Amino acid sequence: MPYENSLEFAQQCDANDSLKSFRDRFYIPQHNGKDCVYLVGNSLGLQPKSTRSFVEQELTDWQNLGVEGHFDQSATRPWFHYHKFLKPYLADLAGAKELEVVSMNSLTTNLHLMMVSFYQPTAKRYKIITEAGAFPSDQYALETQINFHANRGGERLFDPKDALIELQPRTGEETLRTEDILATIEKHQDELALVMMAGVQYYTGQLFDIAAITKKGHDCGALVGFDLAHAFGNVPLQLHEDGVDFAVWCSYKYLNSGPGSVSGVFVHERHSRNPDLPRFAGWWGHDESQRFQMRKGFIPMEGADAWQLSNVNVLPSAAHLASLEIFGEAGIQALRKKSVFLTGYMEFLLNELNADEEKIQIITPQDPNQRGAQLSLCVSHGGKELFNKLSANGVLADWREPNVIRVAAVPMYNSYVDVWNFVNLLGSLL
């Protein structure tokens, strides 16, 4: 169906939207007594209306059962196995087996735990490939892991300055070409230990070709991992089929599970029974049938569960489960279908603004297969002032230095009228 630049067209799209009822299941911030146009689900997703009841149920069980809430069958969801209630939903979103996923910790903590296992540099193979301008937490994690490994026993294993290879777009381009990523992996294949990239790049919104990158990394003798903070719950994933070694993500963006909420990991099943794989262990990763025997000698659980350190953070996990159940109802494929059309509509309207002269530049790839819900808008002059005016008029977006406004029309709760209202206001402000 061809797009039209009119409020009536947006309203008709909303009327025909098979997912439109899901918007009513979220709280939308208010501005002057009306719903904000909330385009920041790529930063913090909205609160499901069911979240409170999920969290309050665990508070009630804690109140009534105390410590017995871990095992007592009168508990709604006994806490000892709480992480298992999330697994079916996470596996579906990850394109994985349930044994390959688990929710735990926070994102950067999990990234470090994964790198303990999957970044084992030698004097010959020590390099890491990532995208230039990766999210700061990833940059810091990679930098400090490299420094940690560079010197052992008083000897320098390798020069940390040479270890990190940052992929840059071609001159005059904003995003990376897949062929350039693959060529760089091949160029460094004899020294490469790890390819560690985002799934969706936080600044540009580019969705990388996870399957192609993973295959090339493995063909060149390296392990491959991804930070899926901006991809999980945004685009369908096939981590098992693609052969990804590990992945990490957060749950507070597209997964709508609350600020700073629990993270998750994927570990491919081929690694789950590898006794030589190093890891930092904790008692919740120990064989659950023997966990309370309190004996020395770590016996790992099967699959990703073996990387758990501590018992489940139940209250954040309850908020996480509330949102995941909604994802289970909506279905990631249906969400993706709407997302492609909804983001395409935003792109169409923005291009209409630029019909006479380019007022803004969309630096996110035009190809829907190379992006999720996010569009990154580059404003050459007065970008921060424009962003502040949007906020003052009830449009919540994201500012990223030096000159980008990020907007994400999230298919779970954003409407076509949201998109039309945003671009209409943007045009008037420009």
Rounded Cα gap, residues 111 and 143, in angstroms: 12
Rounded Cα gap, residues 383 and 43, in angstroms: 19
CB atoms within 10 A of CB 276: 4
Mean pLDDT of 301-316: 95
- Strand, helix or coil for residue 197: strand
| Sign of the four-CA dihedral 108, 229, 227, 362 | negative
pTM: 0.96
Q: What is the pLDDT of residue 363?
A: 97
Q: What is the pLDDT of residue 93?
A: 98
Q: What is the pLDDT of residue 270?
A: 96
Rounded Cα gap, residues 391 and 30, in angstroms: 12
Contacts of 342 (CB under 8 A, 6+ apart): 373, 409, 411, 414, 416, 419
Mean pLDDT of 130-155: 92
Mean pLDDT of 297-312: 93
Q: Spell out the domains of the chain, with CATH numbers in brackets.
A: 7-42+332-429 (3.90.1150.10), 59-328 (3.40.640.10)
pLDDT in tens, 386-427: 999 999 999 999 999 889 999 999 999 999 999 999 999 999
pLDDT in tens, 89-130: 999 999 999 999 999 999 999 999 999 999 999 999 999 999
> What average pLDDT does the chain have?
96
pLDDT in tens, 120-137: 999 999 999 999 999 999
- pLDDT at residue 275 is higher than 90: no
- pLDDT at residue 355 is higher than 90: no
- pLDDT at residue 379 is higher than 90: no
Query: Could you tell me which residue, 147 or 380, shows the higher pLDDT?
Result: 147
- pLDDT at residue 72 is higher than 90: no
CB atoms within 10 A of CB 188: 18
- pLDDT at residue 267 is higher than 80: yes
